[in-house]
């Protein structure tokens, strides 16, 4: 029995999945939580970090890899010599500066206390000024790439993070032999081969098929030393499913995988989840709903869409352009509410019913009718990724009174996420890109029927949830099978892998017509507040004050 292994490196943990390549049956799963988590407050050295910083320790990735692969085989139910291929996906843009041997600079003693030597996670928003400067300069010069990144560069992308390093820590910039995405770094570490994912370069690094990376003249306008960054981004770019090499002897000794086991080039987690959810057709859209949210739609056509952070070739399914949008706070939204806003009485009620606070609040919020609370939320608790692409925007609640109850706020947060999703889909369709089928995956999609029904009602569309808890892992396993090829026990194309290994639909949410009608009215109010607050300077001025010890008033 041949199987492939998909490894998904998320924001807080890494997961592995062994999958039967003949039918997609999951044979074993494992998870490893990063000991250092996300470093937002301080470095391991104790150095304090500024607001908006989100860093990680790359040793956690190596430890996760070794634990997960060893765990696949420790009970001897699976034989390592039956693994046909390995696929890896990562959050993106999650990048790090490395030396010539691929060692992250934070592992060098002399750089250990410098925040810029560590991994900058996708949610690192401290480079917003750099993102704004890149947007402004690209607009002045009418750079072609800008229209395919929503006409506004996100602070989550690669170049703002590199420019931030150059400006704030030039020693790190000079010491870096390369700047590498997490997915590319991991495949390098386990094979010894240095290649870069064309998908990730296109999505996160402003790389275009015809022009490559931005021109030297443009980069020089940002900073005199910036043009040499292309040398720090060197490496062959390859499509998803390409075998970049085999497991090295060193990694074979550490994990038990046979040396030479094929490894697919790395992929972004949401792009991997697209195939992993069983999708590979024109106009299919996948909403990945977890701690944050990412939306992927594929089309044969490339059409600029304002506020979409990447419209890139071959980035999810070879032969298609993938349109990427998203929301920077989804599951985290609800966790914040439970930890900071829920009265003790609600916790006591939940305990008395032998329910979690999430279950109890879902039950109470589920009894409410759309609009009955008179409360609307703007879902910007971690900035607005799409369609305004501004990480400095903060969340807002409107319409609260002394009679507003916790479950009304909780439902308003759910509705705010659904309204934000409707803004994304309408923006795309107004540009001429049609969403033909809508799917959802991720922890929230799997575990919370209430928010999924609200989303179906707000969008006025059926939503299909594939019967797979981790589409990213499954997608990586599929691409691992493609890396092996049919001769190696896998498949020659991702379409073949999806046909054989793709999961069935587990649940379909059908919109309620009366609820949809009520939400149409509420959405117009949401849109009005969205555009007003998004275009006002108020939230950005508040963001500038955030974290300061003394008031500037």
**Which residues, 6+ apart, have CB-to-CB distance to 250 below 8 Å?**
192
Question: Does 551 have pLDDT greater than 90?
Answer: no
Nearest to 104 by CA among 157, 22, 154, 172: 172
Question: For residue 151, is it within any domain?
Answer: yes
Question: For residue 56, is it within any domain?
Answer: yes
Question: For residue 510, is it within any domain?
Answer: no
SS3 assignment, position 346? helix
Question: For residue 93, is it within any domain?
Answer: yes
Tens digits of per-residue pLDDT, 307-364?
887 899 999 999 999 999 999 889 888 999 999 999 999 999 999 999 999 999 999 9
Both 318 and 340 in a single domain? no
Both 297 and 403 in a single domain? no
Q: Could you give the number of structural domains in the chain?
A: 2
Mean pLDDT of 130-139: 97
Question: For residue 516, is it within any domain?
Answer: no
Tens digits of per-residue pLDDT, 154-190?
999 999 999 999 999 999 999 999 999 999 999 999 9
Question: For residue 459, is it within any domain?
Answer: no
Return the bridge partners of 507, or none: 465
Return the bridge partners of 245, or none: 263
Question: For residue 486, is it within any domain?
Answer: yes
Mean pLDDT of 424-445: 95
Residue 70, H or E segment: helix 59-73
Identify the sign of the CA torsion 99, 57, 42, 131: positive
pLDDT of res. 548: 64
Question: For residue 447, is it within any domain?
Answer: no
Both 335 and 320 in a single domain? no
Nearest to 64 by CA among 14, 119, 5: 14
| Domain of 409, in residue numbers | 327-434+524-549
Angle CA 182–152–318, to nearest 5: 50
Both 259 and 383 in a single domain? no
Both 319 and 331 in a single domain? no
Both 154 and 165 in a single domain? yes
CATH number for 8? 3.30.420.40
Both 32 and 181 in a single domain? yes
Both 276 and 224 in a single domain? yes
Both 312 and 346 in a single domain? no
Tens digits of per-residue pLDDT, 517-543?
999 999 999 999 999 999 999 998 998
Average pLDDT across the chain, whole number: 95
Both 43 and 150 in a single domain? yes
**pTM of this prediction?**
0.91
Query: What's CA 292's distance to the chain center, in Å?
Result: 7
Mean pLDDT of 263-267: 97
Both 285 and 354 in a single domain? no
Both 531 and 542 in a single domain? yes
171, 138 Cβ separation under 8 angstroms: no
β-strands 195-197, 236-238 pairing = parallel
């Amino acid at each position: 029995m041949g199987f492939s292994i998909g490894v998904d490196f998320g924001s807080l943990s890494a997961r592995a999945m062994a999958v039967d390549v003949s039918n997609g049956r999951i044979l074993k799963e494992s998870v490893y939580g990063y000991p250092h988590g996300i470093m937002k407050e301080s470095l391991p050295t104790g150095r304090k970090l500024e607001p908006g910083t989100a860093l990680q320790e790359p040793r956690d990735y190596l430890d996760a890899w070794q634990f997960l692969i060893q765990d696949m085989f420790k009970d001897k139910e699976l034989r390592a010599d039956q693994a046909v291929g390995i696929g890896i996906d990562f959050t993106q843009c999650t990048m790090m500066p490395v030396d010539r041997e691929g060692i992250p600079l934070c592992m060098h003693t002399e750089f250990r206390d410098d925040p810029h030597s560590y991994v900058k996670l996708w949610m690192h928003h401290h480079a917003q000024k750099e993102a704004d400067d890149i947007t402004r300069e690209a607009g002045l010069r009418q750079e072609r790439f800008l229209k395919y990144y929503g006409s506004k560069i996100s602070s989550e992308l690669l170049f703002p993070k590199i420019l931030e390093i150059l400006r704030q820590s030039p020693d790190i910039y000079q010491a870096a032999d390369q700047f590498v995405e997490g997915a590319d770094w991991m495949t390098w570490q386990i094979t010894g081969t240095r290649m870069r994912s064309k998908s990730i370069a296109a999505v996160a690094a402003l790389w275009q098929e015809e022009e490559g990376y931005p021109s030297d003249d443009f980069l020089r306008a940002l900073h005199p030393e910036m043009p040499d960054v292309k040398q720090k981004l060197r490496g062959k770019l390859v499509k998803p499913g390409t075998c970049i090499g085999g497991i090295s002897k060193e990694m074979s000794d550490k994990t038990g995988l046979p040396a030479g086991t094929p490894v697919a080039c790395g992929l972004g987690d949401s792009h991997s989840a697209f195939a992993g959810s069983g999708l590979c057709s024109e106009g299919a859209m996948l909403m990945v709903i977890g701690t944050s949210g990412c939306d992927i739609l594929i089309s044969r056509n490339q059409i600029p869409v304002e506020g979409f952070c990447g419209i890139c070739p071959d980035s999810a399914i070879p032969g298609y352009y993938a349109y990427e949008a998203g929301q920077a706070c989804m599951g985290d939204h609800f966790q914040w509410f439970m930890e900071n806003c829920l009265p003790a009485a609600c916790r006591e009620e939940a305990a008395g019913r032998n329910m979690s606070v999430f279950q109890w609040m879902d039950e109470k919020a589920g009894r409410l009718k759309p609009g009955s609370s008179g409360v609307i939320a703007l879902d910007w608790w971690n900035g607005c990724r799409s369609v305004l692409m501004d990480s400095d925007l903060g969340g807002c609640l409107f319409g609260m009174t002394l009679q507003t109850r916790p479950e009304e706020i909780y439902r308003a947060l759910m509705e705010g996420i659904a309204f934000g999703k409707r803004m994304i889909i309408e923006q795309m369709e107004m540009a001429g890109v049609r969403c033909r089928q809508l799917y959802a995956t991720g922890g929230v999609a799997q575990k919370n029927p209430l928010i999924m029904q609200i989303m179906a009602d707000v969008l006025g569309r059926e939503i299909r949830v594939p019967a797979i808890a981790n589409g990213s892992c499954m997608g990586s396993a599929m691409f691992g099978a493609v890396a092996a090829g049919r001769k190696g026990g896998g498949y020659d194309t991702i379409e073949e892998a999806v046909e054989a290994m793709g999961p069935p639909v587990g649940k379909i949410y059908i919109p309620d017509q009366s609820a949809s009608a009520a939400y149409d009215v509420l959405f117009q109010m949401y849109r009005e507040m969205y555009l007003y607050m998004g275009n006002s300077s108020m939230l950005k001025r508040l963001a500038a004050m955030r974290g300061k010890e003394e008031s500037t008033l």
